[in-house]
A and B are shown apart, each in its own frame.
Chain A
Amino acid sequence: MSLELMKGNEAVAEAAVRAGVVSYFGYPITPQTELLEYMSHRMPELGRAFVQAESELGAINMVYGAACTGYRTMTSSSSPGVSLMLEGVSYIAGTELPMVIVNVMRGGPGLGNIAPAQSDYNQMVHGGGHGDYRCIVLAPCSVQESVDLTVLAFDLADKYRSIVVILTDGSIGQMMEACELPPMQPLKTTFADWAVQGCEGRERRFLTSINLDPAAQEEMNYRLLKRWIDVEANEIRCQEYYMEDAEYVVTGFGSSARIALSAVRIARAEGIKVGLIRPITLSPFPRQVYADLSDKIKGMLVVEMNAGQMLEDVLAANRYRTPTDFFARLGGVVPFPDEVLGEIHRMVETPISTDGHPRDRWLARVLAKG
């Protein structure tokens, strides 16, 4: 096993190359730019396509075209850039094409700042573009997992004709950690019966997202839904830490889960029976994990770097059975482990109130502090 020390953004780029991506289209934006920069020399070196588009809008529509060929294709950006791409994302979903998009999230809304944040959860998990479609959303929490999930992303995209989002953030993108890269895969040589690569000698195929007949469009929507049932049945991934005897649970995804893990370890050393649940697939969401939480769990703390976007999915999955509190830092502020530890202490010392919404109680605590 050979371990390399790599920046998250560059590790994702190299993993995509090894997973057989044939074309990359993008536009620079911090904190994602190293990914594009890496591709700008790596792709031509292998005779593959790299295009720095005139904008994110251009990039996503180039991906749309490239995806029609059935070859593996991708783009990457950061929050405001991804917002620009969403029309194209909806069109790609409407045409049922596989593609991978990496969102290295930064502080928002608006142009915001370039610090790490998690405030695009809803954008990626619950919509973004118009219409009834879902993306598979993968949330790595380390450089190694960024590599592993990048390879998985291309496989899932092909398997389900789906858009797969790798939802990471400035922290994981800029961080260097050890990782083991996958072997170089051969490029695809067989293609699905919808791919368009020239129709000499066969019936012509037609790929589009426009469908003026509502009944036919309804059929298409059913098809997407049926496919999603398979995704939910087969692709949910979630990691649990110290849950065997846990009386308290902390949960979060990506960077917040890592920060929470540090706090959970300190709390464990203090004798507090606390565990951690980290969804790896945000979509499909590991609903059953939260639905099945033991009645013995006295309290759950949801930690995010947004104002409680995953919180709503946790509450819905858990059906408010477990007393739940919320903690977050916003706008690009990254919480330190001791802040999360303080919240664990509070949860253990005072029973969680079930009065009102966890977000409202959290905000009241923040405002009371001034």
Chain B
Amino acid sequence: MQTEIIIAGFGGQGVLFGGQLLAYAGLDEGKHVTWIPAYGPEMRGGTANCTAIISDEEIGSPLVRYPAAIIAMNRPSLDKYENQVKPGGLLVVNSSMLDRPVKRTDIRVVEVDAGEVAGKLGDKRMTNMVLLGALLANLPVLPLSAIENALTAHLPERHKRLLPKNFEALREGAKYLLN
């Protein structure tokens, strides 16, 4: 069993860290994991994306054309990746930064006004956590607690005071549960 997840958005939205958290959490759960960024002459505000794979066996290619799940954090990411979600796969979108609906009907779509949710919790920078919560609630790959443990272990010491709020953001996102 292998699950591939792409997280895409603007640089600065926590795209890469979100993917790393999935990898850390997968590793802690005893899975094989890979994390690979689309790297380039990138800058804050430019596009950023990464692929995380969580698997029960040794992982072959770290990149896949049609991943099981995608988190699109902005409009360019939705435009680029909407057609790449595997049929029947999961697309989690940050509707706070979208001005169009998702067109695909053969995939499961979770629309989360994650920017607003994070804002209400006190910091828009937790948008990535809200979306991760929504992803994991609808994708049985890792328990939410694994992400919480990974956050606790890998958030830099100076940010540790932000942990409770981030946990809250994850749980708020997890409320966006599809039937």
Contacts and interface: CB of A to CB of B under 8 A. Distances in A.
Contact of B61 (A5, A178, A259): A259
Contacts of B60: 258-263, 265, 337
Contact of B35 (A176, A263, A334): A176
Contacts of B27: 3, 5, 178
A139 to B, nearest CB: 16
Interface residues of B, number: 22
Contacts of B32: 178
B140 interface: no
B4 to A, nearest CB: 10
B36 A174 contact: yes
A266 to B, nearest CB: 9
Contacts of A170: 39
A156 interface: no
Contacts of A114: 39-41
A212 B60 CA distance: 51
A175 interface: yes
Given A336-B63, A336-B64, A337-B64, A175 B36 contact: yes
Contacts of B63: 171, 259, 334, 336
A132 interface: no
A177 interface: yes
Contacts of B37: 174
A5 B23 CA distance: 8
Nearest to B65: A336
Contacts of A52: none
Contact of B34 (A30, A31, A177): A177
Contacts of A334: 63
B55 to A, nearest CB: 10
B17 to A, nearest CB: 12
A312 interface: no
A138 to B, nearest CB: 19
Contacts of B90: none
B62 interface: yes
A176 B61 contact: no
Interface in A232-262: 258-262
A2 to B, nearest CB: 11
Contacts of A174: 36-37, 39
B23 A338 contact: no
B33 interface: yes
Q: Which of A171, A177, A262, A336 has the most CB of B within 10 A?
A: A177
Contacts of B47: none
Contacts of A265: 60
B24 interface: yes
B131 to A, nearest CB: 20
Nearest to A175: B36
B166 interface: no
Interface string A293-312: 00000000000000000000
Nearest to B62: A175
Interface in B5-41: 20, 23-24, 27, 32-37, 39-41
A177 B62 CA distance: 10
B35 A5 contact: yes
Interface in A330-356: 334, 336-338
A259 B61 CA distance: 4
Given A31-B39, A114-B40, A258 B33 contact: no
A263 B39 CA distance: 24
Nearest to A339: B65
B24 A171 contact: no
Contact of A30 (B36, B39, B61, B64): B39
Contact of A171 (B23, B36, B41, B66): B36
A345 to B, nearest CB: 16
Given A262-B61, A336-B65, A337-B61, A177 B33 contact: yes
A64 B66 CA distance: 47
Nearest to B57: A265
A51 B103 CA distance: 54
A336 B35 contact: no
Interface in A10-62: 30-31
Contacts of B35: 5, 175-177
Nearest to A4: B27
Given A176-B34, A177-B33, A178-B32, A5 B24 contact: yes
Nearest to A335: B61
Contacts of B40: 114-115
Given A171-B63, A175-B62, 4 more contacts: A3-B27, A5-B20, A5-B27, A5-B33
Q: Across the A-B interface, give the 8 residue pairs with the lowest CB-CB distance, nearest first.
A: A262-B60, A261-B60, A176-B35, A259-B61, A262-B61, A336-B65, A175-B36, A337-B61
13 contacts: A3-B27, A114-B40, A115-B40, A170-B39, A176-B34, A176-B35, A176-B36, A177-B34, A177-B59, A258-B61, A259-B63, A261-B60, A262-B60
